[in-house]
Structure 1
Amino acid sequence: MTTSTISGKQEARDFGNSDLKLKDIIKTLPRECFVQDRRKAWTTAIISVLMVSLAYLSLIYSPWFLLPVAWLFTGTALTGFFVIGHDCGHRSFAKRRWVNDVVGHLFMMPLIYPFHSWRIKHNYHHAHTNKLDEDNAWHPIRPEVFEGWDQVKQSAFKVFITKRLWWVGSVGHWAVVHFDWRKFQTKDRSGVKLSVAVVAIFAAIAFPTLIATSGIWGFVKFWLIPWLVYHFWMSTFTIVHHTASDVPFLEASKWNAGIAQLFGSIHCDYPLWVEFLCHDINVHVPHHISTAIPSYNLRMAYRSIQENWGTYLHNECRFSWSLMKQITDQCQLYTTDSGYQSLNDYYAGR
């Protein structure tokens, strides 16, 4: 076991009491974890293309009563497209930047996800994981922020969190964050404009063609519902990756990158068919230790992390309705230096 100034999960919950550095963790990983294998990368991409093609064939030929199964299969396979783009966004798919950019745009294009704007915002999440007021992924709402909202926004939040609507969260994030290039630094705006143009052109061609050939129902059947299933997985992966009642979000002065990435990133097991179609995106801890690790090396890296840093890791979990119920019941508001509380506890304490 690698030594550090703290040990044990209880100490790991206190992000600020360690001089552990992220580079210390990275140094313990096998060098093979960082090796980009062109054959494995393109095999992963081809598998995704084949699975999405098979999924759309199932949509074409399935009787009406099997459509829900076909939609689930198609949306999950499309999530694999996103994971390919995800590797490209971290430059871990290919060694050449232009290859990453081209492949990233192609695989995220059917999802109407602007590649560069997502890449920039997502890398910011990695640099500030579980840091209050900085992490731009699924971050907790503090009571003082909640109190500053008007009644309409408070009511919408209550419905969203208490009615277990976590699965639409990614849709809102997609719509609000990724299309307005004015929200990005000047140096990044040309890339963001390019990515927005790519998905706009795709939508302008694909959507009218789909409607003209198969009608409004065809648009709903072949694109909208699979796209919503994709966002179900996006929302689910995002909230589960960093949310548990004992996972802290800290202010910058108390935040430690090494502990945040180890204890603040959660490994969750999903059904094997989901993990296969989504290229092990659920093996999330090593991805937060280093984004240079390609998706096909995540399990190798995680075994090393378990061996060397297991004391610091959050308990693993398994995806289920009870897990999502637990998260949405307990992790509603977040009090600085105290942790999560439910809305019921918040109102009871006022």
Structure 2
Amino acid sequence: MGAKSDAETFTTVEQGVYPVPDIPIKDLLSAIPTHCFERSPLKGMVYVIWDLFVIGCIWKATVTLDPFIDPAFIQLPHPYAYTALRVSLWALYTFLTGLFATGIWVIGHECGHQAFSESKAINNTVGFILHTAVGVPYHSWRVSHAKHHASTGHMTQDQVFVPSTRSELGLPPLKEGQEDLLGSRVSNLVKKELYEALGDSPIGAMYGSAIYLLGGWPAYIFWNASGQKRYPKGTNHFNPNSPIYQAHHYSQVVVSTAGIVAWVSLLGAAIHHWGFSTVLVTYLLPYLWVNHWLVLITFLQHTDPILPHYRAAEFTFPRGALATLDRNLLGDCGPIMAWLGAHATNGISETHVLHHVCSKIPHYHALCCLEKKIAGYGLPHEGRPGGWAEVYRVYKQCKFVEDEGDVVFYKNAEGLAVMRPGYADASASDSGVEVTK
């Protein structure tokens, strides 16, 4: 987005044009090889076992190395150096364990989409076990997540990562003549007003990003934070009477909540038996890493200044499915970390567009992707690598959308947007004169 001054009173930007697609879903599905739709519970379980095996190896390596951090085995320049090295060792354990445990979360998520097996009973049994083990109310989240897939990018129907509008944030109304609805031209006076109202300091952005990554998942589950704003205050994933659910979901929500109660009880029993510090380092800190990766991955898949959001008049399922991005998790840290990020999390970040086009495709077939098909329509589908720096950038750039408009893009703290919608010309004329019958 190149900005320039307009007689020192306005700032204008050269916006990119997002070609609002009119692609039938059958065209997208037909581009996917047939074998990609095959689901094998045996193959899926191999990935579960592998993730658990790797976590076990990480734990075994850590507890084996820990006793050697001692003056009897290594000489360090200062007594505190032994503590620092031990903390670093266990910090690496929590990081790696959390990364591979996210892979387990991903397979539980596939079960919720019925992508693990042809059998619904197998999907729901395996999914309930895997998701409950990482603190997720399986059926409760499965239902709301299905609604998210059905209405991705819909301003009043999507379930999560719904942009705040100008009026919802209490910002000054759009000033005609002082700012463009599409965010291409804004007076310096309006820029100052918006900046003062929203704030955009580096420290504030870093703090906000960190809080979002650490607390975003429980805040969404318990309080609908960043969720659909038309839901009443107090909406959560544990109340079977929540507006998220219909009457036939009642027992499923109860069972999911009971699973979380059992999970918390087991954690309490483990703390009683092994002590809080042991459970904290062995399980709870990796669990926080899982929550962190979940929020980071999904936030970046659905939030970027180049992605549109739709109101009802312009929304279609294919448009919503394509309003997402694939990102190489940890790709900004080099090729080795990029491979680790994709491998440990079973490619959930790298193949998200395909996942929204057809969520029943298991992750091990997801690389039979749609890049060429989507690229042919000029649609952005490959975002910048997913990592902490990218969360910071997106958090700063995506502040609000306008109350008006059927296809809207995020504006930053100065009221400027990097994209605007473009539509295919459906009319056919070679003279400029409409011919009526």
Q: Give the TM-score category using the shorter length.
A: 0.7 to 0.9
Which residue of 167, 181, 190 corresponds with 2:213?
A: 167
Query: Measured at CA, do residues 173 and 157 of structure 1 come closer, stay the same or move farther in structure 2, by a change above 3 Å?
Result: farther
Alignment partners' CA distance in 2, 1:321 and 1:298: 25
In structure 1, the partner of 2:270 is: 210
Quote the offset at 1:162 in angstroms. Answer: 5.8
Alignment partners' CA distance in 2, 1:59 and 1:91: 36
Alignment partners' CA distance in 2, 1:129 and 1:238: 12
Which residue of 298, 309, 314 corresponds with 2:381?
A: 314
Alignment partners' CA distance in 1, 2:356 and 2:144: 15
Which residue of 381, 393, 409 corresponds with 1:326?
A: 393
In structure 2, the partner of 1:341 is: 411
User: Per-residue displacement from partner, 1:169-202 (whole Å, max 9, x unpaired)?
Assistant: 1221133332222212111010111111122113
Q: Which amino acid aligns with 2:385?
A: R
In structure 1, the partner of 2:151 is: 128
Alignment partners' CA distance in 2, 1:52 and 1:142: 42
Conserved in 2, the CA contact under 8 Å of 1:52 and 1:77? yes
SS at structure 1 position matched to 2:36:
helix
Q: Which amino acid aligns with 1:212?
A: H
Conserved in 2, the CA contact under 8 Å of 1:85 and 1:107? yes
In structure 1, the partner of 2:361 is: 293
Conserved in 1, the CA contact under 8 Å of 2:111 and 2:126? yes
Q: Which amino acid aligns with 2:249?
A: D
Is the counterpart of residue 92 in structure 1 residue 115 in structure 2? yes
In structure 2, the partner of 1:194 is: 255
The 10-residue stretch of structure 1 (98-107 or 21-30) with the greater mean CA deviation from structure 2:
21-30
Conserved in 2, the CA contact under 8 Å of 1:137 and 1:238? no
Quote the offset at 1:344 in angstroms. Answer: 5.0
Conserved in 2, the CA contact under 8 Å of 1:28 and 1:308? yes
Quote the offset at 1:83 in angstroms. Answer: 0.7
Alignment partners' CA distance in 1, 2:253 and 2:62: 33
Matches within 5 A, 1:79-118: 79-118=102-141
User: Per-residue displacement from partner, 1:184-225 (whole Å, max 9, x unpaired)?
Assistant: 211101011111112211321x21222122212123212221
User: Per-residue displacement from partner, 1:10-65 (whole Å, max 9, x unpaired)?
Assistant: 66x253xx542222211221111101134321211211221232344355444333
Query: Measured at CA, do residues 53 and 178 of structure 1 come closer, stay the same or move farther in structure 2, by a change above 3 Å?
Result: farther
SS at structure 2 position matched to 1:173:
helix
Alignment partners' CA distance in 2, 1:288 and 1:99: 22
Which residue of 249, 268, 287 corresponds with 2:309?
A: 249
Q: Which amino acid aligns with 2:356?
A: H
Quote the offset at 1:226 in angstroms. Answer: 1.0
Which residue of 222, 239, 246 corresponds with 1:180?
A: 239
Alignment partners' CA distance in 1, 2:342 and 2:42: 20
Query: Measured at CA, do residues 185 and 157 of structure 1 come closer, stay the same or move farther in structure 2, by a change above 3 Å?
Result: farther
Query: Measured at CA, do residues 219 and 160 of structure 1 come closer, stay the same or move farther in structure 2, by a change above 3 Å?
Result: farther
RMSD in angstroms over aligned alpha carbons? 2.6
Runs of 4+ in 1 over 6 A off after TM superposition: 154-160
Conserved in 2, the CA contact under 8 Å of 1:210 and 1:218? no
User: Per-residue displacement from partner, 1:136-168 (whole Å, max 9, x unpaired)?
Assistant: 1222111211229xxxxx999999856223313
SS at structure 2 position matched to 1:249:
strand
Greater per-residue helix proportion: 1
Quote the offset at 1:316 in angstroms. Answer: 3.2
Conserved in 2, the CA contact under 8 Å of 1:124 and 1:135? yes
Query: Measured at CA, do residues 228 and 284 of structure 1 come closer, stay the same or move farther in structure 2, by a change above 3 Å?
Result: same
Tell me which structure has the larger Cα radius of gyration: 2
Alignment partners' CA distance in 2, 1:125 and 1:333: 20
In structure 1, the partner of 2:98 is: 75
Q: Which amino acid aligns with 1:75?
A: G
The 10-residue stretch of structure 1 (332-341 or 97-106) with the greater mean CA deviation from structure 2:
332-341
Alignment partners' CA distance in 2, 1:92 and 1:330: 34
Alignment partners' CA distance in 2, 1:162 and 1:180: 33
Instruction: Extract unaligned runs of 5+ from structure 2.
Output: 1-14, 67-85, 172-196, 224-235, 330-337, 417-437
Query: Measured at CA, do residues 203 and 173 of structure 1 come closer, stay the same or move farther in structure 2, by a change above 3 Å?
Result: same
Query: Measured at CA, do residues 38 and 112 of structure 1 come closer, stay the same or move farther in structure 2, by a change above 3 Å?
Result: closer
Is the counterpart of residue 51 in structure 1 residue 54 in structure 2? yes
Alignment partners' CA distance in 1, 2:217 and 2:119: 30
TM-score, normalised on structure 1?
0.85
Query: Measured at CA, do residues 49 and 210 of structure 1 come closer, stay the same or move farther in structure 2, by a change above 3 Å?
Result: same
Alignment partners' CA distance in 1, 2:130 and 2:62: 20
Alignment partners' CA distance in 2, 1:155 and 1:210: 44
Quote the offset at 1:134 in angstroms. Answer: 1.6
Conserved in 2, the CA contact under 8 Å of 1:332 and 1:342? yes
Which residue of 288, 302, 305 corresponds with 1:228?
A: 288
Instruction: Extract unaligned runs of 5+ from structure 1.
Output: 1-8, 149-153
- Between Structure 1 and Structure 2, how many residues are aligned? 325
Quote the offset at 1:109 in angstroms. Answer: 1.5
Conserved in 2, the CA contact under 8 Å of 1:55 and 1:77? no
